[in-house]
Structure 1
């Protein structure tokens, strides 16, 4: 029995675990060159794929229910999506350059062991959201359970594909979106004989009330994407070139989300003509069409469109939850869990949390999920400050996987108290508004202040973390005026230029203002300072 247990334990250990198996395995190290397969086109297409979900079709419905017109909501969405796209690019930059994910990037700011908390937070949220999103499409009935299990098995089958090879799924999803959008638009416009009254309706609110609503929803649309912004490195690490992600995010994300929202608005508007009431959810709209006119043509149309929406849901589950969860769980227990094992574990846990119960009886819990951007803003602000101001673009990659005192990111027994001071203070400032959003009665001033929870969280955590680093300087801090970001990090074993020379970048000379080429050799690989 003992020999069997020992053999099983050996089988469970991930191949490629480093000197410290509780901090390192090959999956979470910088990606190899062959796995950097995503191009600028991939990232641009990715956002069309990610946005084209059922929820994306009616993303503006809540804002319109408050009295804003369709086009005012679209303007709020455009502003919010562009603002958060800037955060995508900025916070994902280390992933695109060093080809590491969100959990490893956390170690540079929170410490090699302190990173456990933000990583664990993100992993739990990914698992819960994965279960909730899958549970939305089925009821706790025999038919609903069968559909859920089939969908769950389909997701698990997709997870066998290596992530660098998944870009084909992105391109297929774009095609699926185009077909479903054209199909829904053509069908509903034909049934309605026009676009309906919604698009021509004006605003029902005015003055300061309208102004506050616009402010609220600009930041709400931005904050709704806070998860993508916080773990942007998980996706940008697959870039062939660091700059491939810039236009793909800055242009692709706002354009994709806006196009989906506009199509969703038009389709919803036609429902007022067809049924005499507004139906936002496209799945519910298909159900109404089939229920009220049960013909062979309608059945076929509903089947194929529902199939396209099912693929959209599958894509969202894999890319928005399974991949981030896989990265996070692998970083928490790298000795035994690879990214693929982490993704499968996410699916198992998502099933076990009973998402139907959460959706049917825990409205406060769902509001909590929607308010979680407050915590993510604090983490994101710290990561931005650490990379752009404290480290000046330089990450000592080997030290990110070292648990000893000699590591630059060991700080105080592996924890960086500076990051936790910034995190706790930032969360405390926004906590009253968070309670108000959860249903606790708070003054109107606090409610309105919470509209700015995401930008306030970014600014506060950034500023407090910077102040803490100025008061108590860490071991690794790059002098102001010097920029130490490499052009593109390459694993030492894959570098063909010269043994050990893996970091090539530019440094801004504070005296002359000119850029000088710098290289980091074997000393940099050991985490030591490199002179230019």
Structure 2
């Protein structure tokens, strides 16, 4: 990028970019990209962008716990014959384990201020990183589309509350397309509702989750109060339409539910470095994440169970998904009071689903494509690209008819857990928290993370070992029976993937030492200070930070005009 694009106001740069193909190319190029390994969002986050405090992480995880999947998380377990207490205990401890893994996987990012793609270079190699980031980006873009569709469903309910004729609106879309005109209009609105948020950098997006952390618990509580005041009894036994199961059957049901809860969090377990890199202090991500997730998901799960039990006593049907529940309320009672309550609840869930998609899909995808095309894409551009591509995926086709594909994306945690295990073992046990930032951006074969032609073979062997045992059960989930033992290994998928990946990688590193392993150094004794990062930062992201109103010298970093 020429100095013209750095020193000229943004509106003038935007207009100038369309004067010629060469001008457009110059406008798209990032001056901060000095090689295929670096630009302003791949370099260590400078102090001005370390904005996430303990409260930011607490609000984020508290808010992310209030979503459609968490609301319905206790359904299958209670239907098997478990009590409300048992279901909530499973939810709590599964989320507590998730929180521990999240904190462990976020440690390196909070200390070195680098995101998932750069950390992947340390564990998987300078070129091996591309495999794991492509794997993550594919699922990110698919789930971004699906969540946009779910957001549109809630928006459609809001419109039904406003316009009585909404449900009778002429549907000109053929039934073969798998979507109604109401849902399609909601999807279009969801696209435009998401648009402003993709222009916000990850270092500034935490305010979205603060708002969500307040709105969603109030909306959930409102639904519970409404549901329980319209029935004389609330008992989770109302879901148990069959005799109590045998102890072995219930025990495997507990394992299946535990795996289900962990699966809900699987994307977050891998994504956390992209958030933890903006931690204001090394421990801000620890306390904010450790307590919010298990407590909030347990409360949200309890609200979902209580509300659904109450509604079943009233209407005779268990509506586990919030949008089905809210639609049912309007079907049975289209009064002004019901419409107002459902409108605000639907709006809250639409906002919550949008926030979940930003955190779990847009941010990870943007970080991944930034690493794939660092000369042209940064976090903001990556989020815009995610929104555009997701819009064209037609997710209602996936949700309506592709049962096998849905089974695949719901079970892909068996591929994510080995990656998480490898990165955690690599940081804590192999390198003892000591990594080399310059080598993360070094393409030379002498670089510490070049390994074998840019690939860490140990990591990929461990990756395969991680998903090998639950893989037959994963195949069985598509409808091909492979036996009861295989199915039970799949129910243990998260723990098998995690433990086998971790153990294989650790043993591989003991047998075949990784370059630069520093066992004699105390834990995290080589973490650089802010002054040590300054040269790398100045070469990669000075222009981007100056556009945001920051200046930097070797003594301090502060907004322009501040003292």
Q: Report the TM-score, using the length of structure 2 for normalisation.
A: 0.83
User: Which of these residues, 143, 149, 152, is aligned with residue 135 of structure 1?
Assistant: 149
**C-alpha distance in structure 2 between counterparts of 1:187 and 1:206, whole Å:** 35
Between 457-466 and 373-382, report the one with greater CA deviation.
Answer: 457-466
1:129-157 C-alpha deviation (Å, 9 max, x unpaired): 11122224546222221211111111111
Shift of 1:345: 1.1
Change (3 A) 1:488 1:194: farther
**C-alpha distance in structure 2 between counterparts of 1:480 and 1:493, whole Å:** 24
Shift of 1:158: 1.2
User: Which of these residues, 44, 48, 51, is aligned with residue 37 of structure 1?
Assistant: 51
1:93 aligns with 2:132: no
Query: 3-state DSSP class of the match of 1:375?
Result: helix
Shift of 1:425: 2.7
Shift of 1:428: 2.5
User: Which of these residues, 252, 270, 280, is aligned with residue 212 of structure 1?
Assistant: 252
Query: 3-state DSSP class of the match of 1:225?
Result: helix
Aligned match of 1:515:
none
1:327 aligns with 2:341: no
1:282-337 C-alpha deviation (Å, 9 max, x unpaired): 22222112122221222222112211111111111111111111111111111111
**C-alpha distance in structure 2 between counterparts of 1:30 and 1:474, whole Å:** 23
1:56-76 C-alpha deviation (Å, 9 max, x unpaired): 211111222333222211111
1:117 aligns with 2:119: no
- Verify the 8 A CA contact 1:38 1:239 in the aligned structure 2: yes
1:269 aligns with 2:309: yes
Query: 3-state DSSP class of the match of 1:251?
Result: helix
Change (3 A) 1:383 1:493: closer
- Verify the 8 A CA contact 1:111 1:414 in the aligned structure 2: yes
Shift of 1:486: 5.2
User: Which of these residues, 25, 28, 31, is aligned with residue 12 of structure 1?
Assistant: 28
Superposed, 1:97-496 pairs within 5 Å as 97-136=111-150, 137-138=152-153, 140-196=179-235, 198=237, 204-479=244-519, 482-485=522-525, 489-490=529-530, 492=532, 494=534
Unaligned runs of 5+ in 2: 1-18, 154-177, 536-563
Change (3 A) 1:69 1:489: farther
Query: 3-state DSSP class of the match of 1:399?
Result: helix
Change (3 A) 1:427 1:15: same
Query: 3-state DSSP class of the match of 1:441?
Result: coil
Change (3 A) 1:477 1:362: same
**C-alpha distance in structure 2 between counterparts of 1:60 and 1:68, whole Å:** 10
- Verify the 8 A CA contact 2:199 2:383 in the aligned structure 1: no
- TM-align CA RMSD: 2.1
Shift of 1:178: 2.7
Aligned match of 1:65:
79
**C-alpha distance in structure 2 between counterparts of 1:475 and 1:197, whole Å:** 56
**C-alpha distance in structure 2 between counterparts of 1:273 and 1:469, whole Å:** 58
1:201-227 C-alpha deviation (Å, 9 max, x unpaired): 798223211122112322332233111
Query: 3-state DSSP class of the match of 1:112?
Result: coil
Between 253-262 and 50-59, report the one with greater CA deviation.
Answer: 50-59
Shift of 1:408: 1.1
**C-alpha distance in structure 2 between counterparts of 1:283 and 1:361, whole Å:** 19
- Verify the 8 A CA contact 2:37 2:374 in the aligned structure 1: yes
**C-alpha distance in structure 1 between counterparts of 2:334 and 2:364, whole Å:** 41
Shift of 1:375: 0.5
1:74 aligns with 2:88: yes
Shift of 1:111: 0.6
Equivalences, count: 491
1:24 aligns with 2:38: yes
**C-alpha distance in structure 1 between counterparts of 2:211 and 2:529, whole Å:** 30
Between 200-209 and 289-298, report the one with greater CA deviation.
Answer: 200-209
- Verify the 8 A CA contact 1:84 1:223 in the aligned structure 2: no
- Verify the 8 A CA contact 1:199 1:266 in the aligned structure 2: no
Q: Report the TM-score, using the length of structure 1 for normalisation.
A: 0.88
**C-alpha distance in structure 2 between counterparts of 1:135 and 1:204, whole Å:** 37
Change (3 A) 1:491 1:7: farther
- Verify the 8 A CA contact 2:115 2:273 in the aligned structure 1: yes
Aligned match of 1:524:
none
